[in-house]
Amino acid sequence: MVERLTSNLPALKGRSVVSMMEWTPEEIIQLLNTAQWMKGNRDTVQSRGVLAGKHVALLFELPSTRTRVSFQVAISMLGAEPVWLDWGSSQLGRGESLEDTARVLSRYVDAIVVRAHRHETVQALRRYATVPVFNALTDRAHPFQVLADAMTIREELGGWSGIKLSYLGDGNNMAHSYLVIGAKLGMDITIATPEGYEPLSEIVQWARGEATLTGGSVTITGNPEQAVFGADVVATDVFVSMGDSGDLDRKRELMEAFQINRTRMQLAKPQAIFLHCLPAHRGEEVTADVIDGPQSKVFDQAENRLWVQMAGLAHTLGA
């Protein structure tokens, strides 16, 4: 069954996952269908060992809990071997070029999972590697996170068409990734940020164009109440991300007006769910009564990281 699921779209074989911009809606849905099946058939997946004999390098420049553990477990459950590489203790930390690193690792492993400060780092590794490269987070995109979020939304709300997802906070990699996945799956995406912290204009324009093809929409606003009103999904991220620079105290001060709290959640639909990619700072971007309340699905979405990563690996590296 695993083999049949992953063979439905042979074009995914050997593909990298750098941004979901490069994937069609049909490809994304197939990956999510595979992830859902794997979640319900864990023992079968683990017994098949569809990636037995393969090796996957994990090259992390940034700290990680969920991403590192979920990728290592996903790789192992599929029968492959994870090869951990700490950026600072590898030769990259002593100045070896990305080009040389990509070419050498391609001789040893079947795929490279990368977590890096700059999106250009992952793009460069993909350019020089001869094996698939998976983006495990950059300053521009967090593709596997929003795949997990899309999986959670379908589990809780039944689908994506006509779903209003409202994101409040920094126009960062999560805002970009919600724009991309929302446009691909026909959702109505609203991003609310303080002035000066909007998502990149080229991603907004791309998402608006894509949404015209899928029946979705894109709204950028500075009004958090307007953003949350009538939402099916309310999401946020930390106000200050890894690698942020500048006047961070001033940034936090501006972001305070975009906190998700009980009053704001009451503006959303009664069945609305709350999402956060974690780690969370209770009392900062979200209050404890929301993230620990009945509408919160943050631990379901965290679990779903495992399944979408497994599905991505199986589709791109499997038979």
The domain spanning residue 43 has which CATH number? 3.40.50.1370
Please check whether residues 182 and 285 belong to one and the same domain.
yes
Please check whether residues 131 and 161 belong to one and the same domain.
no
Please check whether residues 187 and 121 belong to one and the same domain.
no
Q: 48, 68, 154, 305: which one is catalytic? A: 305
What residue numbers bound the domain in which 81 lies?
A: 2-141+305-317
Please check whether residues 83 and 158 belong to one and the same domain.
no
The whole-number pLDDT of residue 9 equals 57
**CB-CB contact of 7 with 30 (8 Å):** no
Q: What is the pTM of this model?
A: 0.95
Digit-coded pLDDT (tens) for 262-290: 999 999 999 999 999 999 999 999 999 99
The whole-number pLDDT of residue 8 equals 58
The whole-number pLDDT of residue 12 equals 87
276 is catalytic: no
Q: 68, 110, 188, 277: which one is catalytic? A: 277
The whole-number pLDDT of residue 47 equals 87
Please check whether residues 205 and 110 belong to one and the same domain.
no
170 is catalytic: no
Please check whether residues 130 and 214 belong to one and the same domain.
no
Q: 66, 115, 126, 276: which one is catalytic? A: 115
Q: 142, 176, 264, 315: which one is catalytic? A: 142
Please check whether residues 76 and 184 belong to one and the same domain.
no
**Residue 83 phi/psi, 5° resolution?**
-120, 105
Please check whether residues 232 and 86 belong to one and the same domain.
no
**CB-CB contact of 236 with 285 (8 Å):** yes
115 is catalytic: yes
Please check whether residues 154 and 253 belong to one and the same domain.
yes
Q: 119, 237, 259, 295: which one is catalytic? A: 237
Residue 271 tokens, joined: 């069945």
Please check whether residues 184 and 47 belong to one and the same domain.
no
DSSP β-bridge partners for residue 167: 191, 235
Instruction: State the Cα–Cα distance between residues 110 and 291, nearest whole angstrom.
Output: 38
Digit-coded pLDDT (tens) for 133-154: 999 999 999 999 999 999 999 9
Q: How many domains does the chain have?
A: 2
142 is catalytic: yes
277 is catalytic: yes
Please check whether residues 161 and 266 belong to one and the same domain.
yes
Please check whether residues 83 and 220 belong to one and the same domain.
no
**CB-CB contact of 5 with 33 (8 Å):** yes
Instruction: State the Cα–Cα distance between residues 278 and 297, nearest whole angstrom.
Output: 11
Q: 30, 36, 72, 145: which one is catalytic? A: 145
- Segments of the chain scoring below 50 in pLDDT: none
